[in-house]
Amino acid sequence: MSSIGTGYDLSVTTFSPDGRVFQVEYATKAVDNSGTVVGIKCKDGIVLGVEKLVTSKMMLEGSNRRIHSVHRHSGLAVAGLAADGRQIVSRTKSEAASYEKVYGEAISVKELADRVASYVHLCTLYWWLRPFGCGVILGGYDRDGPQLYMIEPSGVSYKYFGAALGKGRQAAKTEIEKLKLSELTCREGIVEVAKIIYGVHDEAKDKAFELELSWICDESNRQHQKVPNELLEQAKAAAQAALEEMDAD
Amino acid sequence: MDGFSKSIGGGGPNVPAGSHPAGGSQAAAGGGATQRTQYPYVTGTSVIALKYKDGVIMACDTGASYGSTLRYKSVERIKAVGKHSIIGASGEYSDFQEILRYLDELTLSDHMWDDGNSLGPKEIHSYLTRVMYNRRNKFDPLWNSLVIGGVKKGPKGDEKYLGMVNMIGTHFEENHVATGFGNHLAIPILRAEWHEDMTFEEAVKLVEKCLLVLLYRDRSSINKFQIAKITTEGSTIYPPYSLKTYWGFTHFENPAQGAVGSW
């Protein structure tokens, strides 16, 4: 799908003759090259998982978080340029806080997704800004139940049952489609997400990775939090076992 | 402090602004309007708290007065803050609600760091001291006396903490504190009878003794109390209950005995 956008790709405020904004498409490439990020909507909540590629053995485990809490009831998983992602997370937190200051109640997930999308889109409108080199998956649980949104560098935001970004997104999406999400609980969901991430991880190209899992469900009191350690270890073990089974074939 | 300020001002909201000598006035300096808080409107009376073996116990009544009227009788003046603390307030109730909002913002952004750490009672007390003192310096105080108690793991194990901060920013840490009329009626009892490592039952008895004295002698207290405790397991705010009072004193039976009148 790559075409040379000679001359029309120098600025985000330039359209190409066939109606594309190349800078935004290039930004999407940055997302496509990052570690896989997966989000699914189970019947009682949301599960977010990230394949955090470890670039150096010197890095402390648990550092460079890719999943952030943006409010009590929502979390944001970031794919792409980490520094750009921090900016989006910071803006999302302040949007959620200012909404609560003005209206006296927690922001709805839909509204929050709208605001994130507007902010990301904003940076595609001016030549002195560049688009964000990251896509985000926003999972939240409010009065309307659990919801999952994905916001791309172009600023589009859609609501999903399951979404994936990054290197292994095609394979991940295929796996997600196989799941019966409406019958899955979050407890089962975290095992499935772990399996997917371990499955799409390319051992040849990238060596080490850390699995980051978070959830918002009835069990976590509808609050966004890291999956508790025992459940995380169980999920990792199940995922590794599934991988070995696949390799054995 | 809270009880006296009312008497200086001559009573609650019924006093017209012009006759108030101690307060400031709406100063509109050029283009910028400045606010000066003159007096509180809906106020809660004393809060008492003390450290005991497992943590901190705090108690107050559930009343809020509007001047001399006992307007609201089911007001919760003790709330949990984060995982490790409880806060009780006397004074202007709306200012307490605002303080709870600030604490909510504070604990939310602390929670979102997700780094295994959480704000303890000492940190909350420190934060509130800054807030209260800075407002006082702008002549627009949050008209409260706040009591913060909690337990948090420290370098020496589980550390109990109990502190107080009031509307002018005076703050300290103690084994037992009281606000408002409690300063005058409850503190002497606490000083005499508090000791280290009281059991929960002993602590409740001591607190009830103080609450009863306040009920008899403080005209803005009502016979409906809430006790709250904070331990390493978390905070518990118990449902409201009443104390038994005794009015059968002989002097009450014939009140006109010393001053017989004609009607």
**pLDDT tens for the 249 residues of chain A, in order:** 455 667 888 899 999 999 999 999 999 999 999 999 999 999 999 999 999 998 888 888 888 899 999 999 999 999 999 899 999 999 999 999 999 999 999 999 999 999 999 999 999 999 999 999 999 999 999 999 999 999 999 999 999 999 999 999 999 999 999 999 999 999 999 999 999 999 999 888 877 889 999 999 999 999 999 999 999 999 999 999 998 887 776
Tokens 């390319």 -> residue: A202
Partners of residue B138 on adjacent β-strands: none
Per CB-CB distance under 8 Å, the chain A contacts of B114 are 65, 68-69, 225-226
Maximum Cα–Cα distance across chain A: 58
Tell me: pLDDT of B32 over 70.
no
The domain containing residue B51 runs over which residues? 42-241
| Least confident range of A108-117, B11-20, B89-98 | B11-20
Q: N- to C-terminal Cα distance for chain B? A: 40
| Nearest alpha carbon to residue A201 among B206, A193, A20 | A193
| Nearest alpha carbon to residue A49 among A63, A28, A29, A66 | A66
Partners of residue B60 on adjacent β-strands: B47, B226
Residues 64-123, chain A: which have Cβ within 8 Å of B?
A: 65, 68-72, 93, 97, 101
B104 contacts B110 by C-beta, under 8 angstroms: no
Give domain status of residue B116, yes or no. Answer: yes
Token pair in block for residue B46: 């004393």
Separation CA A89–CA A109 (nearest Å): 14
- Asked if B111's CB is within 8 angstroms of A72's CB, the reply is yes
Q: HSE-up of B117 (CA within 13 Å, CB side)?
A: 7
Give domain status of residue B262, yes or no. Answer: no
**Model confidence band, residue B23 (pLDDT cutoffs 50, 70, 90):** very low
Separation CA A201–CA A211 (nearest Å): 11
Tell me: pLDDT of B72 over 90.
yes
User: For residue B25, what are the CA distances in angstroms to B20, B35, B38?
Assistant: 9, 8, 8
**Model confidence band, residue B17 (pLDDT cutoffs 50, 70, 90):** very low
Separation CA B199–CA B54 (nearest Å): 8
User: For residue A245, what are the CA distances in angstroms to A162, A207, A240?
Assistant: 25, 20, 9
Per CB-CB distance under 8 Å, the chain A contacts of B112 are 68-71, 93
Highest mean pLDDT range out of A33-37, B33-37, B254-258?
Answer: A33-37
| Nearest alpha carbon to residue A121 among A131, A135, A112 | A131
B107–chain A nearest CA distance, Å: 10
The 3-class secondary structure across B75-132, one letter per residue, is CCCEEEECCCEEEEEEEEHHHHHHHHHHHHHHHHHHHHHCCCCCCCHHHHHHHHHHHH
- Asked if B114's CB is within 8 angstroms of A69's CB, the reply is yes
B127: phi then psi, degrees, rounded to nearest 5: -60, -50
A69–chain B nearest CA distance, Å: 5
Q: Indicate which residues of B carry an active-site annotation.
A: 37
Give domain status of residue B46, yes or no. Answer: yes
Per CB-CB distance under 8 Å, the chain B contacts of A65 are 114
Sign, CA torsion B18/B21/B24/B27: positive
Sorted by where each starts, the structural domains of chain A and their CATH numbers stand as: 30-248 (3.60.20.10)
Per CB-CB distance under 8 Å, the chain A contacts of B82 are none
Per CB-CB distance under 8 Å, the chain A contacts of B111 are 69, 72
pTM for this prediction:
0.85
pLDDT digits (tens, 9 = 90+) for A139-173: 999 999 999 999 999 999 999 999 999 999 999 99
Give domain status of residue B249, yes or no. Answer: no
The pLDDT, as a whole number, for residue B213 is 96
Q: Is B114 on the interface with A (CB under 8 A)?
A: yes
Mutation for testing the B interface, residue in A60, A63, A69 having most B CBs under 10 Å: A69
Helix (H) or strand (E) holding A239: helix A229-248
Give domain status of residue B251, yes or no. Answer: no
Q: Report the CATH number at residue B88.
A: 3.60.20.10
B81–chain A nearest CA distance, Å: 15
B112–chain A nearest CA distance, Å: 5
Q: Is B109 on the interface with A (CB under 8 A)?
A: yes
| Least confident range of A117-131, A204-218, B32-46, B125-139 | B32-46
- Asked if B108's CB is within 8 angstroms of A225's CB, the reply is no
Separation CA B224–CA B106 (nearest Å): 31
Tell me: pLDDT of B127 over 70.
yes
Tell me: pLDDT of B7 over 60.
no
**Model confidence band, residue B33 (pLDDT cutoffs 50, 70, 90):** low
Q: What is the dihedral of CA B114, B115, B120, B123, to 10 degrees?
A: -100
pLDDT digits (tens, 9 = 90+) for B188-207: 999 999 999 999 999 999 99
Q: Is B112 on the interface with A (CB under 8 A)?
A: yes
Partners of residue B166 on adjacent β-strands: B145
Give domain status of residue B8, yes or no. Answer: no
How many CB pairs below 8 Å do chains A and B form together?
19
* ipTM topping 0.90: no
Give domain status of residue B18, yes or no. Answer: no
Active-site residue, from A36, A55, A174, A185: A36
**Domains contained in chain B, number:** 1
